[in-house]
Each structure stands twice: as structure tokens, then as C-alpha cells.
Structure 1
């Protein structure tokens, strides 16, 4: 229970944690511990570009025992469907983009499901918005977990490294898709998201579809009609800030109350699909991108159909691409 509370704070409360960290660092300036704040801000200045230069992953942190408690709370599983040879790089599209990417974090930023043993020779890195790394203290937590900036130059640098075996995990759907994250919904904002395919083509990295079943069942989400003023407010906020404000709730940590911010205990099964071989094309055309994007959509749909019933999804449920 303590571990999952920690994860909620870190994933879903990034802004509040950052505000607390900034206030704490500021208040320390007026105490006998003022040097701590000055040293950290000096470190922040010198280390500012690290999230855009491959990050700073700590295997020691990824092996913390607390992540196993996180895994067992839901529980979270990682399903391997094919071998991924370490003699190449991979661009993995992670779906769906929900309120909390608990399955993606657990499987690709920790060793609770033994990613490095299931896929020896591979190093997994989960991407997020570059602006998140402007948050003091929280940025250190993210980087040591193996989270990096989704900045294009950063990804180009990582996928150009030798030896191979780099795995870049991109949650493709973005802020828009988070609005379709209620239980039982399987809607992916993917038809106009092609940048990850272009990235794979530039480096000849294999594309791998990922679907995390159960990710959309751990919270109830309030949705609004597209023609309502509330939905328009969400879209305006997304354009200004970069993410969609969602109204959601789960269960309470206290007995006797029916709702809160603790996620429901629902099984999450993250399934890695078969790799799609992609040739290296330094300057891919729109036809190249469209071709491999179509192959990716078909592979993702096939992955969903093959595993949905074993993961508790009704047989008559299908993916919807938006």
C-alpha cells in the first residue's frame, strides 16, 4: 500500500510535488541549511541539458524492492511474444495513453518484471515531455528511473549510439488520448501521429507495438461531449500547457469511503508485439512514413485481437483509431 501511494504521488502529482520542492528549496535559503539550496541550484544549472543528452539511468534504483510491491498491487505482468535481438535498436509505441502509465513505468523503468532478463542486451528508456524536466527534484527521480526527454535530437543521439540494443518507448497517443481513458474504452489517437515512424526510419530501428490491457480500468474518468463548453476548455488548456486536464477518481485509502485518488486494483497486462523490420532511410518521404505507419496499425490491431480475451476484454470489443 505504501509503495502505490508513493507512485501516485510521483506520477500523477508531479506538479504538486514540484511546487512543494520549489517552496522547500526557497525556505531553506532562510535557515542554517541555506547551502543545500544553493548547491542544488548550482547542480541544476550545470546538469540542465542531461535529460536531452540520454538521461542518467540508475540500475540500482530500477532494482528497488518497492517496485515489486507496486507490481503486486494490481498486479502487473509483462508478456513477451517474440525475441528482440540486441544487435539492433527499437522504437516501441506504447498504448494506451491513460491517466497513469503505471504498466509502462513498472515494466520499462523498473526490473520488477525482469525486463533485462527477458530481453538480454537491451536498455529500455521511457520518454516524456521535455518540460517535465524543468521541475526541481522530480527531474532527478525521473532520470534515475530511465525516463528521458522525447526531444528529437535526444532520441536521434540515443538511436545513433554503438553498440545497439537501445529501446526507446514512446507513449504515442499524447494528451488528446487521455480524454478517452475510461473503463472499457479502447480508443487510440494514432491516425495522425507518425513522428515515431519517421524516427524509426531515420535510424533503421525496428518498430514494436505495445498494448497495456487494464491500464484504462484503474480509474473512472469523467468525459464530456465534443460540443460542450467543458470539452472546449480542456482543448484550450491542452493547447496552452501541453496536457489535458482530466476529471478522474479511484478508490480511497480509508475504509468506509467509496472514492479517492488510489487506483483500483485491476490486473494490468503489458504485451510486447513482434518487431516490424524497418530499413534506414535518412530522409524518408511521406509515402515511406505512411507505408510503415499502416503496417504498424495493422500489427497493433492484430496484437490487440490476439490477446484481448485472455486479458478480460470481451470478444466483440475492437480497437478504434482516431
Structure 2
């Protein structure tokens, strides 16, 4: 509200109790504060600047009859340079108008009570006495507004420390009124209890910080499940609309670009560095642990375990820069291998190729490891889609005993084998397990043979409630540990004995990696890997 309204008699008490506040920026207060009392309440406000004309109630003593305040109201030891002017309750002649102040028997004196900060009591100053000069006033930086009744109880208080301090809910909105060097609470003295400072609700703050992480984790699930089918239907739908040319042009591009997934894909570093992946990393959280160096003077075949439902840990650590893989392993360019059928979905194929994902077939992997530039690495989810049937929380079952194709690949190119295990990958979703002799399990296996992936029944929690079912993964820590490389000689036509030998070395290295890090990753010491 405009400052001029605070100069009117009686009106400041009314508007301040209704929640109005001083609307203009605070002006330098160079005069001592003024205390206005009315109706059993006292309002301590800073006086006007010395260059401002005094308000009417200081000019016309006939309207206001100053009288001494009760000593318990404003003790001299708690007031710092306060000019107290108290309105009378009625005119001297009696009647309902202005006159006698409470506690004064027919007082008609026209004087103000000035509380000298150097004195121990109230000193009486005549009506013509001027307030102390600016040189006598102590410079203060904190002001306090308070309503007090005559019993000394605090009705409300507020403080202002800076020019732009916002009002605190529940306090009188006069925070901008008390600013400048003159302070009622200077030198550590307060006229009442300490006013509460604005505080943020920790629950609301945590929700605001957690929300981007939840959305980032959720969008990965939606992209993994629905992006391919959605854009396939969209391209088909546009063929029957006026935008049919868009679908035709893309399908032409789709056919011309058919072999790109078999030639290492088409990566873009800007997609790998999206901030959304850092939010997703922090949601679980996901960590990348390095146990040994990977020199860039050779190539590598990394075996990723376990597959889980969606390979969340492997994707975040190797297909994005959320955990700075390129900085932890400088000189190594890693490509993730995915099902070839995923590259048959329009738009979706281009999206996943931008993260350096290529097709998991012999021609594609041979192309990557045959590059003239060394330091190439491919990470293969050895257990494949079938391993997702064993993505049971708390279990560590790997389909690996008869999976030897990745060992042959390493022998053909002389690439070192590197075991990689993601602790917590199976814990981010609840999973429905069917018995191996049930018809549901047989349907899953049959579907996998036809389509290349297994339909699973899994669930997390809801987007807006942790107590409901949904597709938001549970926030369980995922720690991906990269083991030591196993040197492998180059054999263009490896024998079965060589394949079995290095396969056994790999199993032993993976099991040792699991045993060395399981307890630090929250896995009980009694838990062991199970190879199927």
C-alpha cells in the first residue's frame, strides 16, 4: 500500500491488522522510530526521515493528547531511541472522542515520551523538544516490528534485513517499513521474541529435486517399450493422410540406410551427453566401478551381466556419458550390441543408433573390431533376452554355460575379454516367474523363438504414488563393475579346445569379480553366482 496512508490517524492500525503492507521501496530511516498505540495495542514503527514533513498528529497537539506509557509496555532497557506518542481515549471534557489516555487520570499534558538509549528509565521531553540529531543516533541494520498488548505478550512480529526481503506468512506485512540504519533491535537487543525466518519445506524441496529424476527414469522405460511400435504405426497412419509424402520419404531413407546398423551404427555424442541421463543416473543411483585399466592399444569384447529387464545399468554406463565412461577409460570407444529386430522399427532405429548401438550379429561385430583404429570395444549381453526370465530380485542367475559365441569373436580378432557385472540390475522391477513346466513359460519360449525377445510380466510403482503399481522402476542402487581384461590370442579359425579354455577362464574371472564386490554392493556374503 502507498506510504501516505500510514500518516493518517487510526488508519495505520486498521490496515496493518488487515494484512496490508508498505508498498514503496524502503527509504533511509534517519529519525528514531515512533510508537503509536491504540485500543490496547502498541505499534512500533520507524519515524519519518528528517527531511519529510511531520505527520499531522505531531503538528496539532489538540488532536492527540500525549501521555506517559505504562512502564511495562516499553522498558527503557529494551528500546533504542524510541519516540512514543499515545493517542488519548477521549477529549478532556469526556465523551467518546479523543481525550484521556488509559492509565492517566485526566491528563491534559502535551508531551512525548522519549526513551533515551543511554538512560535507564523514561525521560520526559516537552512537546517542543526535537528528537536527537542524526549524529546521536546509533547506526543499525536490523529492524523489528511488533504489536504488544499492555501485558507485554507479543501478538506478531516481523523483521527485515535487506531491501528486498519478502514477507513471511503469518507475520504483519510491514517488513519493508523498517529499513535503514535506525533499528529497534540494534546491538543485539530485541523488543520481543525472535521472529521465525522463512524456511522451505524439506518435503517439498525433496519432491522438487526428485521429480526430474523420476521422469528421466520413467521416460527410458516408455522409450524402451513403446517408441518402436508407436512410430511404426505413425508412419503407417501418415500414408493415408495428406502427409503421406513424409512417410514415403522416410521409407525411402529407411531402405537406403538398411545396412548402417550392421556397420557400427551412427553415433552422436550430443545425445550421449543429454542431461536426462544424469538425472536417471541419480535416481537409482547408477555407478561405474573401474578395477583395472583398459589400454587403448588393443580391442576388447565386454560381456555384460545380467541382462535384467531392460539393461538399465549397461545402457546408462556404456551407451551414455552419465558416468563419464570416456574419461574413466580414455581412448576406448565402446559400442553396445542389441537385437537385430530392434532396427526394423522406423525412427526408433535411428534413435538407438545415435547412442552407438549396433546390431548383435557376426557381420556387425566383425565390422566394429576390424577398424584400423585400435581401442574399439563391444559390449554384449551374453545371456540375451532369455536371461530376462531370471530377472528375479535378489537372485543372480546367468545363462552363460553354453554361450560361447562371444569367445569365438574375441579369438578371431585377438580382442581381450572383459567381464562386467551390474549389481542391482534385477532389483529395479518386481517380476512374475512361471514354472518351467507351465504353459505360460512355454508360450514365452515360443514367442522368443519367433520374435527374438521374451514377453515378461513385471511392474514397478506408479508415477504419482510409490504405493501403487506402475512402470516407474524402483530406486535401487545399480553398480556396474568392470573387471580385469583377459588377454586372448588371435585365431582366425579357433578350435573348440581353445574356445572352451578361454570360456572357462572367463567364467572364473566373472565369478571372482562377483565375489570380490558383492558385499560392498549390498549382496549377502552367502549369495553366489549360478550359471545355467
TM range (shorter): over 0.9
Provide the C-alpha distance between the structure 2 equivalents of 1:223 and 1:213, rounded to a whole number of angstroms: 20
**1:76-91 pair list within 5 angstroms:** 76-91=286-301
Greater shift, 68-77 or 241-250, is seen at 241-250
CA contact (8 A) 2:262 2:367 kept: no
Q: 1:122 aligns with which of 332, 342, 347?
A: 332
Counterpart of 2:453 in structure 1 is 243
Q: Which stretches in structure 2 are left out of the alignment for 5+ residues? A: 1-213
Give the Å deviation of 1:65.
Answer: 1.0
Bigger mean CA offset, 20-29 vs 51-60:
20-29
Which of 335, 342, 347 is the aligned partner of 1:132? 342
**Residue aligning to 1:303:** 513
Match of 1:319 in 2: 529
For 1:145, the equivalent position in structure 2 comes to 355
Question: 2:263, 2:367 within 8 Å by CA — same for their partners in 1?
Answer: yes
The residue that corresponds to 2:79 in the other structure is none
Using the alignment, how far apart are the partners of 1:226 and 1:23 within structure 2?
Answer: 35
Residue aligning to 2:317: 107
- 2:255 aligned with 1:42: no
Q: Deviations over 1:262-282 (max 9, x none)?
A: 110000000000000000011
Which one of 215, 220, 224 corresponds to residue 7 of structure 1? 220
Deviation at 1:302, TM superposition (A): 0.2
Give me the CA root mean square deviation.
1.1
- Tell me, in whole angstroms, the C-alpha distance in 2 between the residues paired with 1:73 and 1:91: 29
* Equivalent position to 1:70, from 280, 284, 306: 280
- In the TM superposition, what are the counterparts of 1:275-290 in structure 2 within 5 Å? 275-290=485-500
Distance change in 2, residues 1:34/1:249 (3 Å):
same
Number of the residue aligned with 2:477: 267
Moved more, 174-183 or 163-172: 174-183
SS at match of 2:419: strand
What is the aligned counterpart of 1:154 among 357, 364, 368? Answer: 364
Runs (4+) of structure 1 exceeding 4 A deviation are none
Q: Which has the higher contact order (CA 8 A, sep 6+)?
A: 1
Partner of 2:62: none
CA distance change for structure 1 residues 237 and 34 in 2, over 3 Å: closer, same or farther? closer
Secondary structure in structure 2 of the residue aligned to 1:269: strand
Equivalent position to 1:294, from 500, 504, 509:
504
Is the contact made by 2:299 and 2:416 (CA closer than 8 Å) also made in structure 1?
A: yes
Cα separation, 1, equivalents of 2:376 and 2:433:
37
Q: 1:238-273: per-residue Cα shift (whole Å, max 9, x none)? A: 222222211111111122742211110000000000
With the length of structure 1 as denominator, give the TM-score of the two structures: 0.97
Contact 2:306 2:421 in 1 (8 A): yes
Q: Which residue in the other structure is 1:18 paired with? A: 228
Which structure has greater helix proportion? 1
Aligned residues: 319
Which string of whole-angstrom CA distances, capped at 9 and with x for unpartnered residues, describes residues 274-309 of structure 1?
A: 000000011000000000000000000000000000
